[in-house]
Amino acid sequence: MSNSFAALPPAFYTRLSPQGLNAPRLLHANEDAAALIGLAPEVLYTQAFLDVFSGRAPLPGGDTLAAVYSGHQFGIWAGQLGDGRAHLLGEVDGPSGPWELQLKGAGMTPYSRMGDGRAVLRSSVREYLASEAMHGLRIPTTRALALVASDDPVMRETVETAAIVTRMSPSFVRFGSFEHWAARRQPEMVQTLADYIIDHFYPECRGPRPGEKDAPHAPLVRLLDAVTARTARLMADWQCVGFCHGVMNTDNMSILGLTLDYGPYGFMDGFRLDHVCNHSDTEGRYAWNRQPSVALWNLYRLAGSLNSVVQDADALKAVLDGYEGIFTRAFHDGMAAKLGLEAWRAEDEGLLDDLLKLMHEQRADFTLAFRRLSSAVRGASQPFLDMFIDREAARAWLQRLLQRHEAVPRDAALRAGAMDKVNPLYVLRNHLAELAIRAASQGDAAVIDDLLRVLRDPYTERPEYARYAGLPPDWASDLEVSCSS
């Protein structure tokens, strides 16, 4: 255990104890995540494990605390926020490096504001599944170690029950962690936090690169550069799988470029360019097609905070000017692979735009429309065309794609196989999460187990799980997800 965050000055957090759940039950434990911290599978099913991850016993060697941060919520400065229902238990040195373990839903902290410090089973199942689904899609994300349930009542729109999900991340520091100190006009704390992040996670930002001359605050400019690049690539990853985060507030933006804080997220079913997954987002600020520009807006807030130390807005602005190029390149590379192209060409822009437009107009299913392109490459166009109401329009577009393929001839089976490796068949659709939640609220983790099996390898078709590969059933059209969690 190294507990490096706890070694920062005390103003960064409050030490405290979690308030554990009553009569907790281990609903699910993640053996893959456990392996990252060197925990053998059998340890996960012990009383000692349940005691720690239900918040009833301290993590041996840990140093429990809640961190302070601030942030912009829906574009408006919200002031101090902080871990209102998260307890950082400590940092474990695993075979894959250090991981912080954090309970979400283990009671109130000094940062709870009006909240009760709890999380409901529904949102905990969603976070648990989503982080593993993201990992299966090879998209940077926090992980989830355990899901513990209880009958303790929690008041939301109705009375629900409490749960705790244990998250793992090398760090939970957010853009808002920096904004906090800049807003309080304490640049020395911005510097301290930046030094911590650079030394632990971005050591390459410390020294001058070969041939670069070093200004006093160059490491912070390089840090922004590195975070900008990771964030831009993360946005491209999200866009390529039809993922909407739902609450891209600056306090939910990871300084490590990870997908962080799964609340009212959604993997799209029927495609809409301006799809909004969060029912509470009435303005559509975080619509699918706005995510890349919102991330840049958030990076501007981070840059502004770093500038309290750097005092060179032009240097930071120059870094942010690189965002669009990095995002666009990553998005084009990702989309080229999805379309079965060896490399993106400028003229492919029209091809992609027309596909997205067609999918948008006809609400084609995002996941299946892309997945079924490989069937067309293998010679069976119908599965793809079936995703559209106007099949003639879809057929015309498909002809253009197949013609484009001829520009770089390749064995059809090889091309189709490569496409299947980047177009998932299984994503965590809302209705699938809902099925898992319904079973989990009866104490049954079998759906979670089954879903994890396909979501960990979402590219490989498994006929026995065909029920997870289909379009949402009619009842799913009533599902709404909001900030309530």
Taking CB under 6 A as the binding criterion, the range among 16-24, 76-84, 193-201, 270-278 that sits at the site for ligand AMP is 76-84
Nearer to ligand AMP, 18 or 82 (CB): 82
As separate numbers, helices (DSSP H) first and strands (DSSP E) second, the chain gives 17, 12
CA distance 10 to 347: 55
The set of residues, in sequence order, having a beta carbon less than 8 Å from that of 380 and lying 6+ positions away, is none
Interacting partner of 195 out of Mg ion, ligand AMP, none (Cβ under 5 to 8 A depending on kind)? none
The answer to whether residue 118 forms part of the interface with ligand AMP (CB under 6 A) is yes
252 part of the interface to ligand AMP, by CB under 6 A: yes
Closer to ligand AMP by CB, 121 or 319: give it.
121
Q: Is residue 264 a contact point for ligand AMP (CB under 6 A)?
A: no
- Identify the residue whose tokens are 């999380």: 119
Does 261 sit near Mg ion (CB under 5 A)? yes
Is 83 a catalytic site residue?
no
Considering only 41, 115, 208, 473, the residue that binds ligand AMP (CB under 6 A) is 115
Cα end-to-end distance, the chain, whole Å: 31
Smallest separation (angstroms) from Mg ion to the CB of 252: 4
Which of 20, 24, 219, 263 binds ligand AMP (CB under 6 A)? It is 263
Does 84 bind ligand AMP (CB under 6 A)? Our answer is: yes
Nearby residues of 183 by Cβ (< 8 Å), 6 or more positions away: 70, 77, 79, 305
Residue 83 lies near Mg ion (rule: CB under 5 A)? no
CB closer to Mg ion, 83 vs 269? 83
d(CA 290, CA 303): 20
Question: Tokens 């759940």 belong to which residue?
Answer: 21
Contact status: 298 vs Mg ion (CB under 5 A):
no
Strand intervals (E) in 95-184? 97-104, 119-120, 143-155, 159-169
Residue with tokens 């307890």: 87
**Contact status, residue 86 vs residue 66, Cβ threshold 8 Å:** yes
State which of positions 85-114 bind ligand AMP (CB under 6 A): 85, 111-112
When asked if residue 252 is in the footprint of Mg ion (CB under 5 A), the reply is yes
Using CB under 6 A as the binding rule, the residues of this chain from 330 to 389 that contact ligand AMP are none
Near ligand AMP by CB under 6 A, which window of 163-171, 244-252, 278-286, 350-358?
A: 244-252
Integer Cα distance of 85 and 55 in angstroms: 12
CB of 176 vs Mg ion, minimal distance in Å: 9
Query: Is the Cβ of residue 247 or residue 440 nearer to ligand AMP in the bound state?
Result: 247
Question: Under rule CB under 6 A, how many of the chain's residues touch ligand AMP?
Answer: 16
Distance of CA 347 to the CA centre of its chain: 31
Copy the structure tokens of residue 316.
Answer: 């930071």
Catalytic residue among 83, 225, 237, 251: 251
Of 81 and 364, which CB lies nearer to ligand AMP in the complex structure? 81
Pairing of strands 159-169, 97-104: antiparallel
* Joined tokens for residue 168: 């793992």
Report the residue number whose CB is nearest to ligand AMP.
115
Contact 146, 53 (CB under 8 A): yes
Nearer to ligand AMP, 21 or 445 (CB): 21
Judged by CB under 6 A, does residue 79 bind ligand AMP? no
Residue 212, classed as helix, strand or coil, is coil
**β-bridge partners, 254:** 174
Beta bridge mates, 119 = 163
Q: List the Cα angle 403/404/405 in 5-degree steps.
A: 90
Question: Closest CB to Mg ion among 260 and 436?
Answer: 260
The one among 20, 62, 82, 219 contacting ligand AMP by CB under 6 A? 82
CB of 98 to ligand AMP, least distance (A): 23
- Cβ within 8 Å of residue 99, ≥6 positions away: 36, 37, 91, 92, 143, 168, 169, 170
Q: Confirm or reject binding of residue 261 to ligand AMP (CB under 6 A).
A: yes
Q: Which partner in ligand AMP, Mg ion, none is near 424 (CB below 5 to 8 A by kind)?
A: none
| Coil vs helix vs strand at 120 | strand
Cα 33–chain centre separation = 16
At its nearest, how many Å lie between Mg ion and the CB of residue 280? 14
Residue numbers of the site for Mg ion (CB under 5 A)?
A: 252, 261
Residues labelled as active-site residues: 251
Residue numbers of the site for ligand AMP (CB under 6 A)?
A: 81-85, 111-112, 115-118, 247, 249, 252, 261, 263
